[in-house]
Amino acid sequence: MVRFFKVLIAFTLLCQPAILMASDDKVKVVLHVNDKYKIGHLGKSVKNIRAEMGIDIDIRVVINGKAVTRLLKSNKSSAKIVESVLQQNVPIGLCHNAVANNRVNKSLLIEGLDVLETDGNVTVLNYQRQGYFYIKM
């Protein structure tokens, strides 16, 4: 019986964005990155989604965990990727808890990044409630 409810809850969560999208035809996606080695994939993922789905797709990025440690100005490769994503009008939000827990100095972060007021996971959940499809990077 418990397994049934777990499956039901998972199904409901997975279908919610599709149900919500029926009333709003604009596709919305939230990319979630918490692995510092996945930052390198971010630029290509945004580019590929836009190429396949169209330029008007609404993409948001939420980064938490150790991944925030790769977003310092001194990391030139990450800075190049972040700048590319931001130039495509894709906002990048960083979990304030991850920034604090990893002792990242906000003044050393790459320009244009937004330190979120809420937890990164809560932000992802709120995006999903607004009809965003979730993609784990």
Q: How confident is the model at residue 21 (pLDDT cuts 50, 70, 90)?
A: very low
The rounded mean pLDDT for the chain is 88
The whole-angstrom separation of Cα 78 and Cα 71 is 6
Range of the domain at 13: 2-136
DSSP state of 132: P
What's the domain count of the chain?
A: 1
Q: Bridge partners of 133?
A: 29
- CATH number of the domain where residue 63 is located: 3.40.1260.10
Q: Which pLDDT tens digit goes with each residue over 23-46?
A: 457 899 999 999 999 999 999 999
| pTM score of the predicted model | 0.81
Instruction: Extract the tokens encoding 130.
Output: 């607004």
Average pLDDT for residues 55-74, to the nearest whole number? 96
Residue 117 has pLDDT above 70, yes or no: yes
